[in-house]
Structure 1
Amino acid sequence: MLQLSQRGVALPASPYRKLTPYADAARQRGLIVHPLNIGQPDIETPPAMLAAVQQASIEVLEYSPTAGYLSYRHKLAEYYQRLGLPVVPEDVLVTTGGSEAISFALLGCLDPGDEFIVPEPFYGPYAAFAVATGTHVVAVTARLEDNFALPPITDFERRITPRTKAILICSPNNPTGYVYSRAEMEQLKDLCLRHNLYLLSDEAYREFCYDAEYTSALHLQGADDHIVLLDTISKRYSACGARIGAIVTKNRALRDVFFKLAQLRVSPPGLGQLLAEAAADLPETYFDHTKAEYLARRDLMLRRMRAMPGVQVPTPSGAFYVIAHLPVDDADRFAQWLLESFSHHGQTLMISPASGFYATPGLGRQQVRLAYVVNQEVIGKAMDCLAAALEQYPGRTLE
């Protein structure tokens, strides 16, 4: 009998896609399924980005350079400079989405068997990338009661071992929406300097900060060789399908390693870079409407959820997700029940059980992640479904 790789078998299922077969079956039964499970915005991709591809004069769709088109890297560096980040084109390597940036960071900074520390709950695929790269997630737990603020720095320090090579953070955070303060970022930087660790900073949602000021890892002084910024255009321009990201560092030796990794996949998507380059020319005011719309959606979702008995939900300061505690016995069971056994006026909703965003067994069992990436009318209907479902669910824990 043919053997599967242990790595392949050990890969965890996506916490936000694993219920897709149940959602497909629900739609086949005629139900409307409101997708609050995944960060796929319904905001229109800027027409100028699409036009850049539609109007391009291309006779042969060639490989792009391994590091990405120099013209795009120049524009991306200028974008970072407008944010006060000291980035030049040579610091930037264009990746196939943010996912490849995460993969390159782990492959370039860690060896098999090494560890990286992550505050949990964290972006679920980090655990899968660890399995794929032979590295290990070490979780430090943030608490819903504290709005998922950065855990005490002593909790990080206690988990450092000889195999610890990096700390990985996401700010604004997916899945919690928490935005790390300048003081929290400085604490992390100082810890990395004391223990000679990399600080890997996933900043995919930087444009969407509502009640807190964005601080990039590259805003921090005196730690250039330690910092690796992970980025993507997917969320900020509602261009998830373009598959264009970036990995940015001022560490020259590390850049050389990332370049060799990039040579293995030859080049990042050429058409996607045309889209991304056009995005870099959008006016800075582009985000005003998008940010205001997400803020309105957030406030609507929070208002509706806080009116539901037994629901606890902190206010996310950024991104477009909330983590909520629900009065249910098991969020995984509840999420599947929504798709298999529940309907409200011919509708139901798809959510992400939060257990898939934790590494510590048992945590997140009564929590879910919801994405406010659909319009306010759909959010209203989805909240109607959630309220009705919490009243009808056989495993509700609210007395």
Structure 2
Amino acid sequence: MPSISKRGIDMPSSPIRKLVPIADDAKERGINVYHLNIGQPDILTPKVAIDAIKNLDRDILEYSHSAGLIEYREKLVKYYAKFDIDVKKDEIMVTTGGSEAFMFAFFCCFNPGDEIIIPEPFYANYSGFATAMGINIKPITSKFEEGFALPPIEEFEKLITSKTKGIFICNPNNPTGYLYSEEELNQLREIVLKHDLYLLSDEVYREFCYDDYTHISALNLEGLDDNVVLIDSVSKRYSECGIRVGALVSRNKQVIDAAMKYAQARLSPPLLGQIAACASLDASEEYTQTVYNEYLGRRNVLVEGLNKIPGVKSMVPKGAFYTMAKLPVEDSDHFCAWILGEFSYENQTVMMAPGSGFYSSRYLGKDEVRIAYVLNEEDLKKALIVIEKALEVYPGRKQ
């Protein structure tokens, strides 16, 4: 039998989805599974988006422009302007989800063997994309005890070699919920300029910043027009994960021109998804505020509940809708599989993402889990009870 490629062997499994077979088995046994493992909100998609699909007046579902519908990109220009991000429609490349935007950015900015520095823990799929393209991630560890703040810039300097070509941040951060300050971003700006690096910035969660914290886009950092590549998506903003529409945004014309070659090779992003995303930009301010308030309430319920469980600790996220929680366990991979496959409380269990999958450094995150507060407050309260009851009897609990 032919063997699969080394890339296929080296490609890491998703820590977010790898426990799906155990969850499916639990459901077949009639157990209710609270899915806190994945950023799939139960928030309603804007009605204007649903109506745009329902009332579609087209005889042909044709290819769109490879860079995306012109109407949609023109509306995105106005959307970004609300956040003081000044870009033109030709600086926006519509992609098949944020995932394709990552891929285009990696393809266009880095060669096989290049190195990119990423603060860990980080969104697990960054590792998968880098592995597939032969790019080496150099992790720099942000610490739970410090609220996952940006590591000292001196630590970045220590990692930079002749192969270092970029720094990649997620702001607000998935999986930690941390939001980088203006001071931290300006520190990154200085090191990017000093070493002539790319700064890739995943800003998918910009709408969700809490407690009077303000999001600052990497595109607003002075003097970085040729360095910044922004990654975006409508999946979380409008609860539209399934339409697979994202964006790559850069003022660097060479990056956009190179990305166009890849965009043309895949022909076009999803037409129906773009139609829904374009309509979503007309969603009311009431919709946006309601969604924001809902996530704020969920955050408070989850974090307060976690910190009341003996041995559990959770920082208060400043943004996004995730928290990295420390559990009194030796191996969160085992615990997450055990609670799904071997434990239930009142016919309920919980699915979480093991923390180790969000670190590139070995042995880190073994007592952490990422929890997404994407379910309503009542379900979160029930899930918290299940976690507490599970930890009371878990055989691998730390003494």
Q: TM-score, normalised on structure 2?
A: 0.99
Partner of 1:62: helix, strand, or coil?
coil
Partner of 2:94: helix, strand, or coil?
strand
Residue 10 (structure 1) aligned with residue 10 (structure 2)? yes
Offset at residue 280 of structure 1 (A): 1.3
Offset at residue 95 of structure 1 (A): 0.3
Structure 2 Cα separation of the partners of residues 87 and 283 of structure 1 = 23
Q: Quote the residue 1:241 is aligned against.
A: 242
Q: Quote the residue 1:137 is aligned against.
A: 137
Structure 1 Cα separation of the partners of residues 230 and 263 of structure 2 = 16
Partner of 2:118: helix, strand, or coil?
strand
Q: Quote the residue 1:273 is aligned against.
A: 274
- How do 1:295-310 and structure 2 match up within 5 A? 295-310=296-311
Residue 24 (structure 1) aligned with residue 24 (structure 2)? yes
Q: Quote the residue 2:193 is aligned against.
A: 193
After TM superposition, which residue ranges in structure 1, 4 or more long, deviate above 3 angstroms?
Answer: none
Q: Quote the residue 1:152 is aligned against.
A: 152
Q: Quote the residue 1:96 is aligned against.
A: 96
Offset at residue 134 of structure 1 (A): 1.0
Offset at residue 222 of structure 1 (A): 1.0
Structure 2 Cα separation of the partners of residues 106 and 93 of structure 1 = 14
Once the two structures are superposed, residues 123-171 of structure 1 have per-residue CA deviations (whole angstroms, 9 ceiling, x without a partner) of: 0000000111111111000000011010111111110111111100000
Q: Quote the residue 1:76 is aligned against.
A: 76
Q: What fraction of aligned residue pairs are identical, expressed as a percent? A: 50
Structure 2 Cα separation of the partners of residues 31 and 280 of structure 1 = 38
Offset at residue 82 of structure 1 (A): 1.4
Structure 2 Cα separation of the partners of residues 210 and 380 of structure 1 = 21
Offset at residue 286 of structure 1 (A): 2.8
Residue 111 (structure 1) aligned with residue 105 (structure 2)? no
Offset at residue 285 of structure 1 (A): 4.0
Does the 8 Å contact 2:97/2:245 carry over to 1? yes
Structure 2 Cα separation of the partners of residues 74 and 346 of structure 1 = 50
Partner of 1:281: helix, strand, or coil?
coil
- How do 1:256-335 and structure 2 match up within 5 A? 256-335=257-336
Structure 2 Cα separation of the partners of residues 273 and 299 of structure 1 = 34
Offset at residue 353 of structure 1 (A): 0.3
Offset at residue 303 of structure 1 (A): 1.1
**Structure 1: unaligned runs, 5 residues or longer:** none
Once the two structures are superposed, residues 254-311 of structure 1 have per-residue CA deviations (whole angstroms, 9 ceiling, x without a partner) of: 1100101111100000000101111112234432111111011010011111111111
**Structure 2: unaligned runs, 5 residues or longer:** none
Offset at residue 27 of structure 1 (A): 0.6
Structure 2 Cα separation of the partners of residues 151 and 298 of structure 1 = 25
Q: Quote the residue 1:43 is aligned against.
A: 43
Structure 1 Cα separation of the partners of residues 196 and 184 of structure 2 = 18
Once the two structures are superposed, residues 36-75 of structure 1 have per-residue CA deviations (whole angstroms, 9 ceiling, x without a partner) of: 0000000000111011111111111111010001110000
Residue 164 (structure 1) aligned with residue 200 (structure 2)? no
Offset at residue 31 of structure 1 (A): 0.5
Q: Quote the residue 1:87 is aligned against.
A: 87
Structure 2 Cα separation of the partners of residues 369 and 45 of structure 1 = 24
Q: Quote the residue 1:255 is aligned against.
A: 256
Structure 1 Cα separation of the partners of residues 25 and 284 of structure 2 = 43
Does the 8 Å contact 2:112/2:134 carry over to 1? yes
Does the 8 Å contact 2:118/2:169 carry over to 1? yes
Once the two structures are superposed, residues 361-389 of structure 1 have per-residue CA deviations (whole angstroms, 9 ceiling, x without a partner) of: 00000000000000011001100100000
The AA in structure 2 aligned to 1:87 is: V
Q: Quote the residue 1:373 is aligned against.
A: 374
Partner of 1:225: helix, strand, or coil?
coil
Partner of 1:228: helix, strand, or coil?
strand
Structure 2 Cα separation of the partners of residues 279 and 123 of structure 1 = 25
Partner of 1:59: helix, strand, or coil?
coil
Structure 1 Cα separation of the partners of residues 90 and 264 of structure 2 = 16
Once the two structures are superposed, residues 2-30 of structure 1 have per-residue CA deviations (whole angstroms, 9 ceiling, x without a partner) of: 01010011110001100000000011111
The AA in structure 2 aligned to 1:279 is: S
Structure 2 Cα separation of the partners of residues 207 and 287 of structure 1 = 9
**Cα RMSD after superposing both structures:** 0.7
Structure 1 Cα separation of the partners of residues 155 and 215 of structure 2 = 24
The AA in structure 1 aligned to 2:343 is: F
Partner of 2:21: helix, strand, or coil?
helix
Q: TM-score, normalised on structure 1?
A: 0.99
Structure 2 Cα separation of the partners of residues 168 and 118 of structure 1 = 5
Residue 122 (structure 1) aligned with residue 116 (structure 2)? no
Cα distance change of structure 1 residues 258 and 8 upon mapping to structure 2, 3 Å threshold = same
Does the 8 Å contact 2:48/2:282 carry over to 1? no
Structure 2 Cα separation of the partners of residues 153 and 387 of structure 1 = 38
Offset at residue 189 of structure 1 (A): 1.2
Q: Quote the residue 1:347 is aligned against.
A: 348
Would you say how many aligned residue pairs link Structure 1 and Structure 2? 398
The AA in structure 2 aligned to 1:276 is: A
Structure 1 Cα separation of the partners of residues 254 and 367 of structure 2 = 44
